[in-house]
Amino acid sequence: MTVSRRTFIAALGAAPAVTLLPESAFAAYPDRPIHLIVPFAAGGNADVVGRLVGHQVSLQLKQTVVVENRGGGGGAIGAEFVAHARPDGYTLLVASNGPMTINPLMHAQLGYSPLKDFVAVALTSYVPHALVMANKVQVKTLAELIAQSKKKAVTIATSGFGSATHMTLERLKAATGANFTHVPYRGGGAMMPDLLSGAVDGAMTELSTALQLHKGGKAHILAVASAHRSKLAPDIATFIESGVKNFTAQSFIGIVAPAKTPAAVVTQLQNAVEKGLSPDSDAVKRLIGLGAEIATPEQMTSKGFAAFLRNDTENMQQAAKLAGIKPK
């Protein structure tokens, strides 16, 4: 039987709309492996935390999570790759200070926009920054150090010009009027021999790094840039307790996806992170053991992490101006 063109079009219009959708539209997310991109080399904080969280997401979603390291450009290469990936929830980024809030201040031709090209999924954890002093520096409080610096400049090392810890140091100088001389190194490990030998007076670094030195008696921490004292070191005062109002700073780790990723997929991922990092989980115990603090329930949401990123971006912009940093 010959079917006229008019009859065919009419029949087509009467068919349920769902039958016209591609087969992939019916697939329940996730129906294939998820790729989690770590924008740094293996072994660093982002890699360790990313693999731990990736494993938890895999368990919760009952799907393989493949962790890939795409280092380079201070995290820019991996971040750009994810920013331009298909927004379907199968390519995610382990987000941290460098690619999300510092790179835009350092590079004029960055191949992505952190706030426009990504949607926040969840903040997982962060490590507060700490001011640790060489044992030759005989001060016991931040106030004493500031007073001493006004008599003679105090040298403070960081992991590099434009690093998260450098930004924290600049904010501290502005907030206290301390006469600190910044000494940038090529990474956190590179500055440790000089700190231990007393070649530099102190260092701004992650608590997880400083704590080992503090407990081993090789250096001493003056203050921690968190809202409350660390459970791992309850004897150490915060900057806030030391008189620096509202002063917090940290190296954070979270998960983001390409912009325009469906809201339902973002919610699934957010829930997977939240359940995987429940308070009594082995994952949380391990993170705490590494010196990290777990994100609050609000920060572990897409909305909460987005607000966190906006606030950190503002802090970094302020610090960059103080340090005279301009994009190149």
Do 253 and 45 meet the contact criterion of CB atoms below 8 Å apart?
yes
Phi/psi-derived region of residue 96, left when phi > 0, alpha when psi is between -120 and 50, beta in every other case: beta
| For residue 30, cis peptide bond before it (omega within 30 degrees of 0) | yes
Instruction: Determine the topology of domain 128-224 in CATH.
Output: D-Maltodextrin-Binding Protein; domain 2 (3.40.190)
Q: Round to whole Å and give the CA distance between 12 and 9.
A: 5
Using CA atoms, how far residue 324 sits from 167, 249, 310, 327, in Å, is 11, 19, 21, 10
pLDDT in tens, the chain (328 residues): 444 444 434 444 444 444 444 434 446 999 999 999 999 888 878 899 999 999 999 999 999 999 999 998 889 999 999 999 999 999 999 999 999 999 999 898 999 999 999 999 999 999 999 999 999 999 999 999 999 999 999 999 998 888 899 999 999 999 999 999 999 998 778 899 999 999 999 999 999 889 989 999 999 999 999 999 998 889 999 999 999 999 999 999 999 999 999 999 999 999 999 999 999 999 999 998 888 899 999 999 999 999 999 999 999 998 899 888 888 8
pLDDT at 19: 40
**How many other β-carbons are positioned within 10 Å of the β-carbon of residue 26?**
9
Q: Round to whole Å and give the CA distance between 226 and 212.
A: 18
Residue reference for tokens 């791992």: 232
pLDDT at 74: 84
- Residue 231: phi, psi to the nearest 5? -65, -25
Q: Round to whole Å and give the CA distance between 315 and 166.
A: 12
Do 33 and 65 meet the contact criterion of CB atoms below 8 Å apart?
yes
Residue reference for tokens 């079009």: 9
The token pair at 269 is 């991922």
Do 255 and 122 meet the contact criterion of CB atoms below 8 Å apart?
yes
The token pair at 114 is 């952190």
Using CA atoms, how far residue 215 sits from 41, 224, 234, in Å, is 28, 14, 12
Does 128-224 match 32-126+251-323 at the fold level?
A: yes
Domain-wise residue ranges, the chain: 32-126+251-323, 128-224
Q: Round to whole Å and give the CA distance between 237 and 235.
A: 7
Q: Round to whole Å and give the CA distance between 37 and 51.
A: 10
Instruction: Determine the topology of domain 32-126+251-323 in CATH.
Output: D-Maltodextrin-Binding Protein; domain 2 (3.40.190)
